[in-house]
Amino acid sequence: MKRITFLVTAITTLAGAVAFTATASRHAAAQEAAPIFVKKVPAGYRDWKVVSVAHEAGELNDIRAVLGNDIAIKAYRAGKLPFPEGAIVGRIAWSHVSSEENNRTFGRDQSFVAGSPTAAYLQFMVKDSKKYAATGGWGYSSFDKDGKPTDEAAMKTCFPCHQAIKDRDFIFTRYAP
Amino acid sequence: MKRITFLVTAITTLAGAVAFTATASRHAAAQEAAPIFVKKVPAGYRDWKVVSVAHEAGELNDIRAVLGNDIAIKAYRAGKLPFPEGAIVGRIAWSHVSSEENNRTFGRDQSFVAGSPTAAYLQFMVKDSKKYAATGGWGYSSFDKDGKPTDEAAMKTCFPCHQAIKDRDFIFTRYAP
């Protein structure tokens, strides 16, 4: 919970400072009426292909795999923007933990592996230009390890930050060949 | 090249200190006659499913995805050991680089992403109990970004370290649900 609070606070602060322009305010108004987030974990996501991997240090302290469904991966590999309808990009975040076993093998403390699921274990962006028109054509979602979605108020902080990369169709993660 | 040299040195040192028992010596003798490593990158590996992710700090300074072919993933998920014939576990290692773009969004320096391929970009373990009988039933391989395999002498240092986890069929990485 603490981690979610931090993340939301960080994003909200940034949104307040940078992204809450008149445009964002209009979008926020539109969000009152339109759905902006996804309440169900997409089926089969654990079988999806890898887009890339990342590590968030600091309070988040996680290590993550970013995955894509077939529509998303195909678009990524073709360098095609915007992503087509039905594309889903997801990420799994595990706690970033030291591996004593690996360190023994390497003979030094250097190895970190995926530990338990984090508070914001799963996140997805689902492309549906009509349904999620108010948030750039993407629905956002975040789930804990039990599949419980993050509350709607917190989800409203996603889009303002993702606007920073509107020219890449709002997706931060680049494909790692 | 420096990184490979470091890795090989680290592994060799460890092997010298810990794993070069009389058993290992007999295996080394057997290796003279039998193939112990794989010279071709397995086809389609980039489409494989995720086993887990990891970060090696220090000299290696990489972030990695560990993937498995369908045979390996099925065995992992079933918790079945030893891995069946044909199982392949692979890992891709990219350099661990700070993301200025992500840090701007988070409002603090915390984000690391996959950069360029490392010197030991791809590594695979291929299960074939007969062919690789001399090394616990697994063939080992390592490739740079151009698909050039690491030389055979260096590959002989793989098995001695992996013997530390013989009870998990020589595979270090655990499946991350």
Across the interface, whether the CB atoms of B173 and A113 are under 8 A apart is answered yes
ipTM rounded to 2 decimals: 0.81
Please count the other Cβ atoms lying within 10 Å of the Cβ belonging to residue A24.
Answer: 15
Which residues of chain A have a CB within 8 Å of the CB of B57? 109-112
End-to-end CA distance of chain B: 34
Q: Å from B176 to nearest chain A CA? A: 7
Model pLDDT, residue B17: 37
Distance between CA B94 and CA B122 in Å, rounded?
A: 9
Which residues of chain B have a CB within 8 Å of the CB of A102? 54, 172
Distance between CA A69 and CA A87 in Å, rounded?
A: 6
Nearest C-alpha neighbor of A48 from the set A115, A116, A158, A124: A124
More confident residue, A48 or B24: A48
Three-class DSSP category at A176: coil
Model pLDDT, residue B34: 67
pLDDT at B9 over 70: no
Across the interface, whether the CB atoms of A112 and B173 are under 8 A apart is answered no
Model pLDDT, residue B35: 79
Across the interface, whether the CB atoms of B56 and A94 are under 8 A apart is answered no
Closest-approach residue (CA) in chain A for B162: A105
Interchain CB contacts (distance < 8 Å): A and B: 133
- Token digits of residue A55: 């590590």
Which residues of chain A have a CB within 8 Å of the CB of B110? 56-60
Model pLDDT, residue A69: 98
Which residues of chain B have a CB within 8 Å of the CB of A96? 55
C-beta separation of A114 from A63 below 8 A: yes
Cα dihedral B168, A109, B99, B115 sign: negative
Nearest to A110 among B56, B107, B173 (CB): B56
Nearest to A14 among B65, B94, B107 (CB): B107
Mean pLDDT of A92-121: 95
- Token digits of residue B177: 């649900």
pLDDT at A29 over 60: no
Closest-approach residue (CA) in chain A for B73: A47
Q: Å from A93 to nearest chain B CA? A: 10
Distance between CA B56 and CA B1 in Å, rounded?
A: 17
Nearest to A111 among B54, B106, B117 (CB): B54
- Note the pLDDT tens digit of each residue in A67-95: 999 999 999 999 989 999 999 999 999 99
pTM: 0.82
Please count the other Cβ atoms lying within 10 Å of the Cβ belonging to residue B83.
Answer: 24
pLDDT at B89 over 60: yes
Q: Å from A130 to nearest chain B CA? A: 27
Token pair 């080992």 is at which residue? B140
Q: Which H, E and C letters describe chain B, residue by residue?
A: CHHHHHHHHHHHHHHHHHHCCHHHHHHHHHHCCCCCECCCCCCCHHHCEEEEEEEECCCCCEEEEEEECHHHHHHHHHCCCCCCCCCEEEEEEEEEEECHHHHHHHCCCCEEEEEEEEEEEEEEEEECCCCCHHHCCEEEEEECCCCCECCHHHHCCHHHHHHHHHHHCCCCCCCCC
